[in-house]
Amino acid sequence: MKILHITKKYPNALGGDAVYVLNLENEQRKNSHDVFILTSNCKEIISKTGLYKFGLKDTAQNWDRIRFKRIISTLFFLFYLPFIIHKIKPDIIHVHSVELGCFASWWAKLFRIPTIFTYHAVLFPYKDINFIKRLFDFLFFSLGIFDKIIAVDVNSLSHFGNYYLRAVFIPPAVNPEEFCLNGTQTPSFKKQSSFNKIIRFLYVGRLEETKGLYNLLEATKLFMNYCDNFELYIVGDGSLRVKLENLSRKLNLNNIVKFLGPVSDRIKLVEIYHSADIFVLPSLRDCCPVVIFEAWAAGLALIATKVGSITTICQHYHNAYLISPNNIIMLAEALLELYSDNELRLNLARNGITTVKQRYTWEIISKQIQQLYTEILTQ
């Protein structure tokens, strides 16, 4: 089967959609499919056989905002896509961006090629998001002609209205073996007592408003009143980076909080995961963040907020410590409890890796996606 994936981002551009497409592509290649990638002309994106780029040279970060270059590149994509379809002749088109997916679905319909759309981030129902972004998200989604919609957030299914019967929840996944150091099959759990070692907290992701990082810094300041034998590593980049660094200095957290910036090298990222003890995801709003699976696969205990599909995949005190979003006090208490309770940390980590291996590996998830392909092609 020939599969064409269309995505705004692809490694080494940072983003959950980029990692999603790469891992799905690799799993599909293992199953002897011919896989092609059409993606934006971001300077971070690698070049390789079977990968095509469109539009103006830009940065991956600008593809998260409405910018002149993004608009021009999207228009270029509209007229470039039929040439790619004619060249590749795919059996199915799998899109991972709402505006690119909308345009792709029109051409796919003309070429009589089925189109599947993975909706990585639903924007239009949330009033805290910029109105223009929400409007475009809704228009492109409504105008798209998709044979099937994959939602990575189970709660977003209710927003799809007349599209509901064509929508299905399939979460993202991870390759657990990728997050085991030195070829070991299981992560090395951190068994040391918090009294004789520095406990390291870790955040990995975009530095944006919805991720709740202001709250994390404020909670860290409160937590520091009770203990100081800890560190917080923040990995990622985004529009709030300078503001967050300034807030960290204002709160006198310079010796505690380390901003590591974006890390595109997967081996280095795995090493950072393994250097930590506890993963913290203080999102105000989220879908089904793949970093949760990465943290579990690396053997970390997890603190996360009860938003999106997190409440579906996580169980409080079983494989995660769940708190309410936008609650600094609860977040500080969670930091303190997991810092102090070595046994709880270990149990959350063990149950986390079990959850990943049983439900959220790419081997499992890719089979579910392949079943969708087969159903559509045989209709």
- What pLDDT digit, counting tens, does each position of 162-177 carry? 676 689 999 999 999 9
What's residue 64's pLDDT?
79
Residues 103-106: contacts with CB within 8 Å, 24+ apart? Answer: 103/74, 103/77, 103/78, 104/6, 105/144, 105/145, 105/146, 106/145
| pTM for the full predicted model | 0.87
Lowest pLDDT segment from 67-76, 117-126, 156-165: 156-165
- Given a cut of 90, is residue 188 above it in pLDDT? no
Q: Which residues contact 216 (CB under 8 A, 6 or more apart)?
A: 203, 232, 280, 282, 331
**176-359 has the same fold as 2-173+361-377:** yes
Query: Which residues sit opposite 299 in a β-bridge?
Result: none
If residue 141 lies in a helix (H) or strand (E), which one and from where to where?
A: helix 131-143
Compute the distance between CA of residue 116 and CA of residue 150 in angstroms, rounded to an integer: 7
What's residue 129's pLDDT?
81
Looking up tokens 């046994």 gives 343
Average pLDDT over residues 224-248: 93
Q: Which residues contact 68 (CB under 8 A, 6 or more apart)?
A: none
Structure tokens at 116: 């599947």
- Given a cut of 70, is residue 184 above it in pLDDT? no
Q: Which residues contact 166 (CB under 8 A, 6 or more apart)?
A: 146, 147, 148, 149, 160
Compute the distance between CA of residue 74 and CA of residue 64 in angstroms, rounded to an integer: 13
Compute the distance between CA of residue 233 and CA of residue 207 in angstroms, rounded to an integer: 13
- Are 290 and 14 spatial neighbours (Cβ–Cβ below 8 Å)? no
- Given a cut of 50, is residue 195 above it in pLDDT? no
- Look over the chain and give the mean of its residue pLDDT values, rounded to a whole number: 91
- What pLDDT digit, counting tens, does each position of 294-336 carry? 999 999 999 999 998 899 999 999 999 999 999 999 999 999 9
Structure tokens at 321: 């410590």
Name the CATH code of domain 2-173+361-377 (choices 1.20.58.220, 3.40.50.170, 3.30.450.20, 3.40.50.2000).
3.40.50.2000
Compute the distance between CA of residue 102 and CA of residue 104 in angstroms, rounded to an integer: 5
Compute the distance between CA of residue 56 and CA of residue 74 in angstroms, rounded to an integer: 9
* Phi, psi (rounded to 5 degrees) for 42: -80, 140
Question: What is the residue type of 128?
Answer: D
Q: Band of the pLDDT at 185, cuts 50, 70, 90? A: very low
Every domain of the chain and the residues it spans: 2-173+361-377, 176-359
Structure tokens at 284: 């105000």
> Is residue 112 classed exposed, middle or buried when 0-12, 13-18 and 19+ CB atoms within 10 A define those classes?
exposed
- Are 215 and 282 spatial neighbours (Cβ–Cβ below 8 Å)? yes
234: left (phi over 0), alpha (psi -120 to 50) or beta: beta
- Are 16 and 97 spatial neighbours (Cβ–Cβ below 8 Å)? no
Compute the distance between CA of residue 94 and CA of residue 171 in angstroms, rounded to an integer: 16
Query: Length of the chain, please?
Result: 379
- Are 223 and 336 spatial neighbours (Cβ–Cβ below 8 Å)? yes
Compute the distance between CA of residue 93 and CA of residue 359 in angstroms, rounded to an integer: 26
Note the CATH number of domain 176-359.
3.40.50.2000
